[in-house]
Amino acid sequence: MAHPASAAAPGRKTVIHPLVVRITHWINAIAIIIMILSGWRIYDASPIFNFDFPPAITLGGWLAGALQWHFAAMWLLVLNGLFYICYGFISGHFKMSFLPLTLRSIWHEFRNLLRGQISHELGVYNAIQRAAYIGVICMGVVLVLSGLSIWKPVQFQELTALMGGYDSARVVHFVAMALVVFFIVVHLTLVVLVPKTFWPMISGRAAGGQEKAK
């Protein structure tokens, strides 16, 4: 099935990011940044690894403040995320943007990447992008589930047990956060390398056609 963008005549601007995707993307961006920065402050109160985050790059000022931010922004993250995921399935957005995806196509794209060739067509995700977006959505789900099992290890004790217990749930929560941070770093680096991808995330529109970035 052809993507609307690839069918468009060159030079004509078409919608490559639906309005719902743009709105939920930016709400998510705000929510996830609050969650990460306040989460670092909470982590610092009792680090699970042999390091802590410099307080200057955290949010909340102290533990109570960080917890207030974390447990306020979680509603934004979860409600927005639920809405996005429901929309993704019901509208066919996930199917259209992320599928088909095979290990073979990821490997093919990876080999291209090593050769310095990135197939880049505005509005169409390559195999690595598809895998990355699916991966980061899954990490969001893991973050929420591990977060719930840390927050409610009695009421949701079955979930906590699924995470391998309370202490293990903290590690799962941390690792999922680290993977999301890794995604964000790569994501932002690519936006800096290919700046014309930025504006369509606000306006939704971009000129059709394929191009290869070296």
Point out which residues bind other proteins (CB under 8 A). 42-43, 45-46, 48, 63-65, 67-69, 71-72, 75, 150, 152-155, 157, 166-167, 170
- Please say whether the beta carbons of 64 and 15 come within 8 A: no
Q: Kindly tell me which of 117 and 155 has the beta carbon lying closer to other proteins.
A: 155
Q: Kindly tell me which of 26 and 75 has the beta carbon lying closer to other proteins.
A: 75
Q: How far is the CB of 110 from other proteins (least distance, A)?
A: 37
Joined tokens for residue 7:
């069918």
Torsion of CA 23, 204, 179, 28, to 10 degrees: -10
Q: How far is the CB of 64 from other proteins (least distance, A)?
A: 4
Q: Kindly tell me which of 124 and 145 has the beta carbon lying closer to other proteins.
A: 145
Residue for token digits 């369509």? 200
- Please say whether the beta carbons of 107 and 198 come within 8 A: no
- Please say whether the beta carbons of 34 and 59 come within 8 A: yes
Q: How far is the CB of 77 from other proteins (least distance, A)?
A: 13
Q: How far is the CB of 139 from other proteins (least distance, A)?
A: 20
- Please say whether the beta carbons of 180 and 77 come within 8 A: no
Cα separation of 28 and 184, whole Å? Answer: 12
Q: Which helix (H) or strand (E) holds 38?
A: helix 19-45
Q: How far is the CB of 156 from other proteins (least distance, A)?
A: 8
Q: Kindly tell me which of 58 and 126 has the beta carbon lying closer to other proteins.
A: 58
Instruction: Give all strands (DSSP E) within 97-208, no chain letters.
Output: 118-120, 205-207
Q: How far is the CB of 170 from other proteins (least distance, A)?
A: 6
- Cα–Cα distances (Å) from 153 to 156, 158, 162, 173, 180, in that order, read 5, 8, 11, 14, 24
Q: Kindly tell me which of 41 and 120 has the beta carbon lying closer to other proteins.
A: 41
Q: Kindly tell me which of 15 and 27 has the beta carbon lying closer to other proteins.
A: 27
Cα separation of 101 and 36, whole Å? Answer: 29
